[in-house]
Amino acid sequence: MNSSPDRIADPWGVRTPYAPGDPWPARTDLHLADGVTEEDVEQWVPSASILHSNGDAMDIAVRDGRIVGVRGRAADRVNRGRLGPKDLYGWQANHAPDRLTRPLVRENGRLVETDWDTALDRVAARTRTLLDERGPGSVGFYTSGQLFLEEYYTLSVLAHAGVRTNHLDGNTRLCTATAAEALKESFGSDGQPGSYEDIDHADTIALFGHNMAETQTVLWMRVLDRLEGSDPPRLLCVDPRYTPVARRADVHLAPRPGTNVALLNALLHEIIRTGRIDRAYVDAHTVGYDELAAGVERCTPRWAARICDVPAAEIERAADLLGDARRLTSTVLQGVYQSHQASAAAVQVNNLHLIRGMLGRPGCGLMQMNGQPTAQNTRECGADGDLPGFRNWQNDRHVAELAEIWNVEPDGIPHHGPPTHAMQMFRYAEQGSLRLLWISGTNPAVSLPELGRIRSILAQERLFVVVQDLFLNETAQLADVVLPAATWGEKTGTFTNADRTVHLSEKAVEPPGEARADLDIFLDFAARMDFRDKDGGPLIGWRDPQEAFAAWQRCSAGRPCDYTGLSYDKLRDGGIQWPCTEDAPDGTARLYTDGFDHAHPDRCESYGKDMVTGATVTPVEYRSLNPDGKAVIKAAEYLPPHEDASAEYPLQLITGRTVYHFHTRTKTGRAPELNAAAPDVWAEISPAEAAAQGLADGDLVRVTTPRGVIEARLRTVAIRDGVVFVPFHYGYWDTPEGHRPPDGRPGRAANETTVTDWDPLSKQPLFKTAAARVTLAARRGTPRRQDTDGAGTNRPGADRTDTHGTDTHGTDLGSTA
Ligand SMILES: Nc1nc2c(c(=O)[nH]1)N[C@H]1C(S)=C(S)[C@@H](COP(=O)(O)OP(=O)(O)OC[C@H]3O[C@@H](n4cnc5c(=O)[nH]c(N)nc54)[C@H](O)[C@@H]3O)O[C@H]1N2
Ligand SMILES: Nc1nc2c(c(=O)[nH]1)N[C@H]1C(S)=C(S)[C@@H](COP(=O)(O)OP(=O)(O)OC[C@H]3O[C@@H](n4cnc5c(=O)[nH]c(N)nc54)[C@H](O)[C@@H]3O)O[C@H]1N2
Ligand SMILES: [Mo]
């Protein structure tokens, strides 16, 4: 077999149609470096994809100690051999010439190379001084959704019981904190109810704020194969843009950004009004239905039509589609999680499934999606600040259990209040109470809102910043110590995708230079700090991934995310869904097939929060509301967005993704095919909006909000009037000296313009609701300043040409004016 056909031009590849209930046919995707054939490959090393949450299983091709390609694993339950464009090409970043190979420390204002002892001793010494002088509240950790389970668990123990700080969070806060919150609110615990196999059985599929075609390409291939097979499912898309998903939808609702709750309340209203609820299911398995029915009573389609600016008849059509479904599968992602009233809206999708009794059966999948490849592990290991194993910080028995597992005193584990969320950590750093911030596997100088503010916080003299990364990214440039990390393909560990499938990813090649696995870095730091348990033994007794996995298995025992039935050996044969135990040795396809045990007051991860203020519900209140552990139906009232369009800022800005890039492009920007497909930032508005503003396709425009301004090429596309979309992937301008922040003139990172505001429940920042204006900077054809400024390396962002229009390569992605 040769390399798969050009998957830049066609991200989804050829169709393999199938009928409802049939197994999804296999299709093996492959890409090898130029000139390499399958016969040349010396070793195929099992792994899974690390550039989205889908968990596509693959083998890494190795030759002469280098990665030379990847091949999908046809036997795996998740992808049956398929891979997306980022996976086919993205591995090339592993061998990029500018990988960090030695630790760096700041000397006289400059980062200089050093050895590991010097770098880590500096971090340990500063930590010790801060703990002595200011206590654990002065130290914080900000990690990722892209490391491995073993690494998160180690970091979690190190932070919770070693440093004993409550300031520990992941970039999962920006990503799927709302997914976790919505699952806790409705079902008492994090944990995805459904399975990807629900796509095989569904008669109706609804995507809420989820551009699956571009962000989970392989799952979308599964949907496309159903759509092209016999008896296809009906498709609902809720998205203000005409995404590739919208174009395949039977009903597409394009609401005003930030109005999801109004729309969902109207859908619930219609379903209840027309009696299409499963009363027996509601009575047996839920509490709170009457409040919901009363709450949505006045939320007619006509009422929502005014708020959402969607025709009432279209809302009714969508309600019919959902109300008539016998096997409904829904997915929710950033169009909900990063929008206004994020948790309240996500919970209404849970309510939709609860009142229709659409859970725990084939085809009745509910996916509060993940985004990052290992975000599920950040959450279950407690590296997002929660207690490991979905334990409840308000439940003393849960804390005591954890203390026993770690052999520490319960008081040694901070649980006096909710864990500090990332946005609050940056606030503490701004105010000066947080003095050391250790950032691993995330690039906040591009990915957090309001970058001018973030840069000034990270650049402060009094804040000691440690950055653990593969590259000298925008954040690392502001660090005091930079630790070179090994990554996927260069280290061994496990991770869990959005449908609870655990994969093992084994080391295929050596990391470059002195780069070390994140696990080894955390373990080395713990040893230097000499963290002890209550009997004087080492707090962290494990030395390698497999031992860390075993320690985690003990911690997960008896909890919803029980890993005790798994082993590295078993995982070598393919992915397995947790919980996996002695009683369920092959894993568990669906949760909640028989009630909602995780919601029991003694077991639940959270007692829930107020839908408006986010105030925590007390244990006593929860126990009286839900004594027997049923699913909780929680109503929410629509509230208008905080920052709405105005005369000065007439448009609504939303930000998001393109199929070719992953986040801040540290990897995909270094893969030639992907970089060439979308080399530079652009802004999308509708042709009507452009005409109204006197703008034309290809013009260089400024997108301005109260926080900042960026410059981008304009694309006129099919998108709601009044909305401007900007992909958030593009960081600082690139120059021969390296990345450079905007320095007063327009930058190109979307987050120069986004707002410091977050959901009151999940604390997830609002990347999809801000007011903006779009104005002309230069007419089409005029090179912009950066183009003539010497940008010209092969690093991400290198940009010599006017790139307008080139990213679509005829695939009809996005540009459909
Ligand atoms: N190619 C690619 N794939 C990825 C990633 C990537 O960077 N690139 N990242 C991964 C990660 S970490 C994540 S979190 C996921 C994200 O995956 P998605 O959530 O699918 O991606 P986004 O583009 O952020 O947002 C989805 C859609 O939300 C819509 N939207 C904006 N505002 C609203 C609103 O108010 N209401 C509604 N209903 N919709 C709205 C946008 O128009 C957009 O099409 O993708 C994962 N997969
Ligand atoms: N405006 C706007 N902003 C957004 C979003 C949006 O839609 N709009 N989406 C948000 C979402 S959902 C997300 S998930 C975030 C993503 O934001 P980030 O997490 O900041 O984005 P990445 O570019 O993935 O950064 C990951 C970093 O980890 C490094 N890395 C990769 N693998 C490893 C490893 O194995 N070890 C170590 N130590 N480092 C590694 C990479 O080189 C990279 O620098 O952005 C958020 N920001
Ligand atoms: Mo994400």
User: Is residue 280 domain-shared with residue 429, that is, in the same domain?
Assistant: no
- Predicted confidence (pLDDT) at residue 798 exceeds the cutoff of 80: no
Strands (E), 586-718: 631-632, 651-656, 682-685, 700-704, 709-716
Tell me which of 559, 577, 595 is where a domain ends: 577
**23 located within any domain:** no
User: Is residue 420 domain-shared with residue 504, that is, in the same domain?
Assistant: yes
- Predicted confidence (pLDDT) at residue 789 exceeds the cutoff of 60: no
User: Is residue 698 domain-shared with residue 556, that is, in the same domain?
Assistant: no
Provide the 3-class DSSP secondary structure of residue 240: coil
Is there an atom of ligand 1 within 6 Å of 239 CB? Answer: yes
Confidence of residue 788 (pLDDT cuts 50, 70, 90): very low
User: Is residue 528 domain-shared with residue 620, that is, in the same domain?
Assistant: no
Joined together, the tokens standing for residue 438 give 């250790």
- Predicted confidence (pLDDT) at residue 697 exceeds the cutoff of 80: yes
User: Is residue 367 domain-shared with residue 396, that is, in the same domain?
Assistant: no
In single-letter form, the type of residue at position 635 comes to A
**742 located within any domain:** yes
Check residue 696 and give its pLDDT: 97
User: Is residue 183 domain-shared with residue 161, that is, in the same domain?
Assistant: no
**567 located within any domain:** yes
Distance from Cα 519 to the centre of ligand 2, integer Å:
19
Average of per-residue pLDDT across 695-719: 97
Average of per-residue pLDDT across 676-683: 96
User: Is residue 152 domain-shared with residue 212, that is, in the same domain?
Assistant: no
**815 located within any domain:** no
The protein residue with its alpha carbon nearest to ligand 1, atom 19, reads 334
Check residue 793 and give its pLDDT: 35
Question: Positive or negative, the Cα torsion across 439, 444, 446, 452?
Answer: negative
**619 located within any domain:** yes
Provide the 3-class DSSP secondary structure of residue 735: strand
Check residue 810 and give its pLDDT: 32
C-alpha angle with apex 40: 39 to 42, nearest 5 degrees? 100
CA 281 distance to own-chain centroid: 32
Is residue 628 within 8 A of residue 600, CB to CB? The reply is yes
Confidence of residue 734 (pLDDT cuts 50, 70, 90): low
Over residues 459-471, the pLDDT tens digits come to 999 999 999 999 9
Which is the closest atom of ligand 1 to the Cα of 85? Answer: 1
For residues 29 and 71, what is the distance between their CA atoms, to the nearest angstrom? 6
Question: Does an H or E element contain 225, and which?
Answer: helix 217-228
Distance from Cα 262 to the centre of ligand 1, integer Å:
20
Cα–Cα distance list, 166 to 161, 259, 415, 487 (Å): 10, 34, 8, 27
Confidence of residue 785 (pLDDT cuts 50, 70, 90): low
For residues 120 and 483, what is the distance between their CA atoms, to the nearest angstrom? 8
Check residue 786 and give its pLDDT: 54
Which position has the token pair 């930590």? 127
For residues 165 and 157, what is the distance between their CA atoms, to the nearest angstrom? 11
- Predicted confidence (pLDDT) at residue 399 exceeds the cutoff of 90: yes
For residues 194 and 593, what is the distance between their CA atoms, to the nearest angstrom? 10
- Predicted confidence (pLDDT) at residue 792 exceeds the cutoff of 70: no
Q: Considering only 276-285, 353-362, 511-520, 738-747, which range has the smallest mean pLDDT?
A: 738-747
Is there an atom of ligand 1 within 6 Å of 11 CB? Answer: no
Strand partners of residue 105: 112, 481
Average of per-residue pLDDT across 571-575: 96
User: Is residue 664 domain-shared with residue 531, that is, in the same domain?
Assistant: no
The CATH number covering residue 300 comes to 3.40.228.10
Check residue 808 and give its pLDDT: 35
Q: Considering only 29-38, 624-633, 730-739, which range has the smallest mean pLDDT?
A: 730-739
Residue 302 structural domain: 177-373+610-632
Is there an atom of ligand 2 within 6 Å of 764 CB? Answer: no
Joined together, the tokens standing for residue 10 give 């066609």
User: Is residue 724 domain-shared with residue 763, that is, in the same domain?
Assistant: yes
Alpha carbons within 13 angstroms on the beta-carbon side of residue 395 total 21
Question: Positive or negative, the Cα torsion across 162, 502, 367, 620?
Answer: negative
User: Is residue 412 domain-shared with residue 551, that is, in the same domain?
Assistant: yes
**698 located within any domain:** yes
Mean residue pLDDT across the chain: 94
Confidence of residue 3 (pLDDT cuts 50, 70, 90): low
Confidence of residue 745 (pLDDT cuts 50, 70, 90): confident
For residues 437 and 429, what is the distance between their CA atoms, to the nearest angstrom? 8
Over residues 604-636, the pLDDT tens digits come to 999 999 999 999 999 999 999 999 999 999 999
Tell me which of 600, 632, 664 is where a domain ends: 632
The CATH number covering residue 502 comes to 3.40.50.740
Confidence of residue 783 (pLDDT cuts 50, 70, 90): confident
The CATH number covering residue 744 comes to 2.40.40.20
**395 located within any domain:** yes
Is there an atom of ligand 1 within 6 Å of 209 CB? Answer: yes
Check residue 643 and give its pLDDT: 93
Q: Which residues contact 567 (CB under 8 A, 6 or more apart)?
A: none
Confidence of residue 791 (pLDDT cuts 50, 70, 90): very low
Confidence of residue 743 (pLDDT cuts 50, 70, 90): confident
User: Is residue 424 domain-shared with residue 333, that is, in the same domain?
Assistant: no
For residues 742 and 744, what is the distance between their CA atoms, to the nearest angstrom? 6
Is there an atom of ligand 1 within 6 Å of 768 CB? Answer: yes
Is residue 549 within 8 A of residue 379, CB to CB? The reply is no
Which is the closest atom of ligand 2 to the Cα of 171? Answer: 19
Joined together, the tokens standing for residue 677 give 């497909």
Average of per-residue pLDDT across 555-567: 98
Distance from Cα 147 to the centre of ligand 2, integer Å:
11
Confidence of residue 739 (pLDDT cuts 50, 70, 90): low
User: Is residue 250 domain-shared with residue 397, that is, in the same domain?
Assistant: no
Confidence of residue 76 (pLDDT cuts 50, 70, 90): very high
Of 171, 376, 465, 705, best ligand 2 pocket probe by most atoms within 8 Å of the beta carbon: 171
The protein residue with its alpha carbon nearest to ligand 1, atom 22, reads 656
Q: For the chain, how many structural domains are there in total?
A: 3
Over residues 98-122, the pLDDT tens digits come to 999 999 999 999 999 999 999 999 9
For the whole model, what pTM was predicted? Answer: 0.96
For residues 496 and 502, what is the distance between their CA atoms, to the nearest angstrom? 4
pLDDT above 90: percentage of residues in the chain: 93
Phi, psi of 59 (to 5 degrees): -110, 140
Confidence of residue 737 (pLDDT cuts 50, 70, 90): low
Check residue 735 and give its pLDDT: 60
Which is the closest atom of ligand 2 to the Cα of 491? Answer: 35
Alpha carbons within 13 angstroms on the beta-carbon side of residue 725 total 24
Over residues 290-340, the pLDDT tens digits come to 999 999 999 999 999 999 999 999 999 999 999 999 999 999 999 999 999
**583 located within any domain:** no
